Amino acid sequence: MKPWQKDQLHRALEQRREALLGEIERDAKRLREEQVATEEADLTRDVGELRDVEAARRRLDDGSYGICTDCGADIGFERLHAEPEAARCIECQRRHEKTYRD
């Protein structure tokens, strides 16, 4: 991965992290105030995505970012640009989704 690509993806992760923290704060406040079940679902989804973003930030720091956690292949820049927190290449992600479908 080229340095400019890594920088661009790092910025995307940071922006998504900040947005998620804001969404989580808003969802938690509305959940406390209104006890709305949909807010709980939104909060759960946002916390899960925040965990994925934080894991991607750790991979950036340790040098394993952009490498598929399942097969070890490079994750394409296009995929990371679309989903900066991606931990798997497209093929491994498809396999994972088929295996762990609800």
Confidence of residue 102 (pLDDT cuts 50, 70, 90): low
Joined tokens for residue 92: 């491994």
User: Domain boundaries in the chain?
Assistant: 3-99
The model's pTM is 0.74
Look at 32 and 6; give whichever has higher pLDDT: 6
Q: What pLDDT is stored for residue 39 in this prediction?
A: 66
Which tens digits make up the pLDDT trace of 14-55? Answer: 999 999 999 888 888 877 777 666 667 788 888 999 999 999
**pLDDT at residue 57 is higher than 90:** yes
* Burial class of 63 by CB neighbour count within 10 A (0 to 12, 13 to 18, 19+): exposed
Here the contacts of 82-91 (C-beta below 8 Å, separation 24 or greater) are 84/9, 84/12, 84/13, 84/16, 84/53, 84/56, 85/13, 85/16, 85/49, 85/52, 85/53, 85/55, 85/56, 86/56, 87/52, 87/55, 87/56, 87/59
| Rounded CA Rg of the chain | 15
The third-level CATH classification (topology) of the domain covering 3-99 is Four Helix Bundle (Hemerythrin (Met), subunit A) (1.20.120)
In whole angstroms, give the CA distance from residue 98 to residue 22. 32
